[in-house]
């Protein structure tokens, strides 16, 4: 799933080399932290948050199919959104 997050993010942004995905495994779920360049935040989030919401829905569906729970956090400069 980490590869999925990275693949989608790289195709949404202008600077694909700045995309970094880290995986934090918890007791009940996995959190994927997505770091992008500051000027690409708007492309990931989308108008009214539509892109990131769709991204999270597809990631959650993929995780549920594998019998897991996953969430997506977008990180820029140490701040979570």
- Mean pLDDT of all residues belonging to the chain: 90
Pairing of strands 70-76, 20-25: unpaired
Residue 75: pLDDT band by 50, 70, 90 thresholds?
confident
Q: Is the model's pLDDT at 81 over the cut of 60? A: no
Spatial neighbors of 61 by CB under 8 A, at least 6 apart, are none
What homologous superfamily does CATH list for 2-80?
K homology (KH) domain (3.30.300.20)
pLDDT at 17 over 60: yes
User: What are the residue boundaries of the structural domains of the chain, listed by start?
Assistant: 2-80
Of 44, 29, 27, the residue nearest 81 (C-alpha): 44
The owner of tokens 């360049």 is: 37
Per-residue pLDDT tens over the stretch 32-66? 999 999 999 999 999 999 999 999 999 999 999 98
């Amino acid at each position: 799933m980490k590869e999925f997050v990275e693949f989608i993010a790289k195709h949404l942004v202008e600077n694909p080399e700045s995309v970094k995905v880290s995986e934090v495994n918890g007791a009940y779920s996995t959190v994927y932290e997505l770091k992008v360049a500051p000027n690409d935040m708007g492309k990931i989030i989308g108008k009214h948050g539509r892109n990131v919401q769709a991204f999270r829905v597809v990631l959650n569906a993929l995780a549920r199919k594998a019998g897991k729970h996953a969430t997506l956090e977008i990180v820029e400069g140490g701040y979570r959104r």
